[in-house]
Structure 1
Amino acid sequence: MKKILSFLKSTSDILKSILKKQKSQLLSNMLIVGGISLLVKGISFFKEIFIADTYGVSLLLDTFLIAVLIPTFIQSVFINSYGSVFIPNYLLEKKAKKDTSSFQSSSFIITVGIGLLMILIIYIGVDYYLEYLFPGHENAYYDLIKTQLFIILPCILFWAISSLISGLLMADNEFLVSSLNAIFIPIATIICLFFHNELQEKALALGMLVGSFSSTIYLIYFGFKKRLLKLGSPNFKNDNIQVILKQVPAKVSSGLINGVNPMIDQYFSAQMAIGAIAALNYGYKIPMVTISLLSIPIGSTILPYFSNKAAENREDTFLYLKKMIKMCLIGLSLVTLILIIFSKLIITIFFERGEFNSDNTDIVYLIQQMYFIQIPFYIIGIIMNKYLTAINKNNFLVWSSILSLSLNILFNYTFVEWIGIKGLALATSLVSLINALVIYLYITKQHSKEFYV
């Protein structure tokens, strides 16, 4: 017993010494974000079950998904792009000056301006958008979409404000506060669903609006409470603001190009036999959940970490990047191998019931295996993407995205002819591998130029 207690004490001492090191802060932040992500995904999953129970496969749910499509796309491509390039340049500004109020004010004006512009464009162009992409429906169908869309539109403004405050919190290692921000929309939606008889077609849209508003108020409160929000006279000639404005177009372009890839896969699968889209969708679900649970904590915490280190010592940051890539490649490759081996069992446990029979499992688990291959390369790609953003080298991401798009089309044509629907999944994984390799070679070349030329 004494030996066990002695061992536990020595282990505890070792852990305490490790936790004092800087890298442990990164690991701690990842664990915090990962834990909150699990909580949020659990609540979101319950929300999806509640929605299915309330609406089933219905016209109302279809129109809501169409209404929310463009606002969430704008959030992902435009608002989040500005938010990601904001963090490294905010940290540079913070190191150069104690007072960041002018920089913050300028950033808020820019991102709110982007949000308002997007709201105006959607409002003016909604009829053309609906008739062009979803033709052949009655006016009542379009009216139902617009009713929900006009409720959702203000969310873009709330998301813009929330994006920057989240960035401030993450830059100050307040990951617990920042991560909890994601919990408001699913909770608000669940509450609104309890009153769906009264709210009728507006229930889901109001859930998103109330959740987004609550999230923004929550972040503003903690932004002031933590004394991170400081507003002053804007200065758009500020050097770091100028850098942001130069980096945003590249980040947006990269996001737009990457957003096309899933659409291309859907196009190819639609040309095949009935059920191909569904099989591809089932095969993608578990790999995407796995990637999401890994990428959210890494992606959220690594950008401010790299930004801080790069502002202090670029050489050390590069060496740490290489070490992280090596660790991820080894660790995630082992995880991927295990998932590939048990792929059929995973599909059997999660999906094989009712209309989904063993014949479906025999098709889907092979697709899932092909998708699993991408896991280590996808995560490593995210890490390197954040590194490039931290050192303001986003322009190359546009070229790598164009290469990925071209390879995806080429591989889809080639592999579909070779192995059918499984080829689309294999193409996706190979694109992730090549994309990660190309970005790594670019980073290595840039590092050599900076330090050895």
Structure 2
Amino acid sequence: MKEVFNLKSKLGLASILFLFATIILKMSGLVRDMVIAYYFGDSYIADAYLAAFIIPNMIILFLTTGMKNALVPSYIQNLEENRGSEHLGQVFNGTVLISIILSIAGTLLARFYIPILYPEFNPHAKEIAIWVSVILFSSIIFVGMNAVLEAFFDSVNKFSLSMVSQIIVVVSTILGAVLFADEFGAYSLAGGYLIGTVISLFFKLVLVIPKKVMKVRKNFDWLEIKKFSIIFVPVGLTVAVGQINLTVDNIFASYFEEGVVTYINYAKNLVHFPQAIFGVTIGTIIFPIISKAHAKNDNDLFKKGVEKGLVMMFLIVLPSIMGLMLLMPNIVEMLYQRGAFGSAATMSTSEVAYFYFGSVLFFSLHNIVNKGFYTLKKGHLIMLTGIFAIILNIILNYVFTLWIGYKGIPLASSVMALFYVGTCFLIFIKLVGGINLKFVGTEFLKVTIATLLMSAVVLWSKQLFGVMGNTVLIIIIVVIGCVTYFVIAVLLRIKALTVLLNRFSPKKFKKNSH
């Protein structure tokens, strides 16, 4: 167990740096949304940009997140066989070729698929969406190369470098809008993203070329590329499931009044903030550990790593989401209500956000489960389940939007997430021969009790300090909520908290807590 849980000796510094870089990345993402809200509000221009970003971003996630989930265990396995640089070089070569094909296809097809996906957009919005898509698809070539190098950084526990390179892209997007929004409108955002991918690639190449970590000049080994692609493609498509569902959400949103696409995207980004920070962080840190356990055929160590990941995820994400929900109108107003984004848009975004609660909770837990699938090279199982999730999401969107209008879109996402993640969890348990459900269930119950008690204190505090300004109120409530939750968690003796504290404490975790 020391190999899994002694993070201080193995991954302590790397984990802290990664968490810090992740927070900066997600904060810069919020700043990007704030800039879009300031310049374009909830107008058709904002709707067009956000809608146009969906399809290219699907390819981006297919390459980036899919590459990490496929390459980390694959590279570690080849590293054990003393051929890591050859394998990395072949994956790089193959990815460049795939990226070029996807980039050309996307730029050529944009004029056809935008009108099909968003028939209710006015002509100006359609034109903006088409050219934004063309610019973003032009960046796919650089995205592909970036994806391989980021996956390499993760596999050698250099998590923060991967995050820093993504921060470069987000900052470039923000600067593009700030400097050129008045002149080029939404195109300034897409152009900033394209330039950011180029700068990010140069940043990585400067770090990896001197170390000669991959052999890219070697001829294409089509057999090895094919072998990796058989693993990568299902994994990448699985990652794209979330983006496909977001496309479904945006298509349904486009049939409502101007601004609904904007509300859906801002609310989703904001509510998924805890998942984007803690969910991705815990999942990324655990991935190399369980991959090494699997490479050494230590099934017990592998399952215990997944169990600890689940309870730590629930420990952090549940109270974070609950606190976010209780402060949602205040947070939306503080972040977005300025410039072209008015109070009515704030209220609409807040109302949409409430219905995304289940989505972020279930998909956060899924971050751990899918790492287990990817480690076992069973990504195709999630892909098959993902197809079911897409169909279910379409049906639920149709039913719920008829029932409660555009608020049914996030509700459909939450209900779909429950069935999707639940199904994947049951398949995973059967695949690995069971896990310690008593331990996981007991920890989940304790965390739920602590979260409910914290919520009661937060509601009382919100009434007590409600006369204060938004920023001061949010800071006070966050401090009170965190302290309250920590004290209750200690009193309830939540084992996940003990594991988490020991990971960052000077003392080694000497005893398995279950």
> Would you call these one fold, judging by a TM-score over 0.5?
yes
- Residues in 1 aligned to 2:260 and 2:56: alpha-carbon distance in whole angstroms: 28
CA shift, 1:441, in A, is 1.5
**Would you say the 8 A contact 1:88–1:307 is kept in 2?**
yes
Q: Which residue of 1 aligns with 2:223?
A: 237
**Would you say the 8 A contact 2:61–2:236 is kept in 1?**
no
The one-letter code of the counterpart of 2:381 is: F
Normalising by structure 1, we get a TM-score of 0.77
**Would you say the 8 A contact 1:181–1:219 is kept in 2?**
yes
- Residues in 1 aligned to 2:328 and 2:182: alpha-carbon distance in whole angstroms: 44
| Aligned-CA RMSD value | 4.2
- Residues in 2 aligned to 1:275 and 1:197: alpha-carbon distance in whole angstroms: 19
**CA displacement 1:159-213 (0-9 Å, x = unmatched):** 1111111111111111222211012223334555565399857644442232111
**CA displacement 1:91-138 (0-9 Å, x = unmatched):** 111101x23332122111210010111122234434433554567999
The one-letter code of the counterpart of 1:217 is: F
Moved more, 367-376 or 113-122: 367-376
Could you tell me which of 358, 372, 376 is aligned with 1:373?
A: 358
Q: How does 1:407-446 map to 2 (within 5 A)?
A: 407-412=392-397, 415=400, 422-446=407-431
Note if 1:265 corresponds to 2:249.
Answer: yes
Note if 1:253 corresponds to 2:240.
Answer: no
**Would you say the 8 A contact 1:336–1:373 is kept in 2?**
no
Q: 1:340 to 1:21 in 2, by over 3 A?
A: same
For the residue of structure 1 that corresponds to 2:414, the secondary structure is helix
The one-letter code of the counterpart of 1:377 is: F
CA shift, 1:438, in A, is 1.6
Q: 1:266 to 1:196 in 2, by over 3 A?
A: closer
Aligned residue pair count: 429
For the residue of structure 2 that corresponds to 1:121, the secondary structure is helix
Note if 1:106 corresponds to 2:90.
Answer: yes
Could you tell me which of 320, 325, 328 is aligned with 2:310?
A: 325
**Would you say the 8 A contact 1:159–1:212 is kept in 2?**
yes
Q: Which residue of 2 aligns with 1:8?
A: none
Moved more, 189-198 or 148-157: 189-198
Q: Which residue of 1 aligns with 2:145?
A: 161
Normalising by structure 2, we get a TM-score of 0.69
Note if 1:406 corresponds to 2:359.
Answer: no
**CA displacement 1:31-75 (0-9 Å, x = unmatched):** 322321222333444455555666677887777667655433321
The one-letter code of the counterpart of 1:236 is: W
**Would you say the 8 A contact 2:62–2:236 is kept in 1?**
yes
- Residues in 2 aligned to 1:19 and 1:134: alpha-carbon distance in whole angstroms: 48
Could you tell me which of 187, 196, 206 is aligned with 1:221?
A: 206
Could you tell me which of 305, 326, 350 is aligned with 2:289?
A: 305
For the residue of structure 2 that corresponds to 1:373, the secondary structure is helix
Q: How does 1:10-409 map to 2 (within 5 A)?
A: 21-22=6-7, 25-26=10-11, 28-50=13-35, 68-78=53-63, 80-96=65-81, 98-130=82-114, 132-133=116-117, 152-192=136-176, 196=180, 200=184, 203-231=188-216, 232-238=218-224, 241-268=225-252, 280=264, 283-312=267-296, 313-343=298-328, 346=331, 355-356=342-343, 361=347, 367-409=352-394
Moved more, 130-139 or 328-337: 130-139
**Would you say the 8 A contact 1:185–1:208 is kept in 2?**
yes
For the residue of structure 1 that corresponds to 2:157, the secondary structure is coil
For the residue of structure 1 that corresponds to 2:60, the secondary structure is helix
- Residues in 2 aligned to 1:344 and 1:134: alpha-carbon distance in whole angstroms: 29
For the residue of structure 1 that corresponds to 2:356, the secondary structure is helix
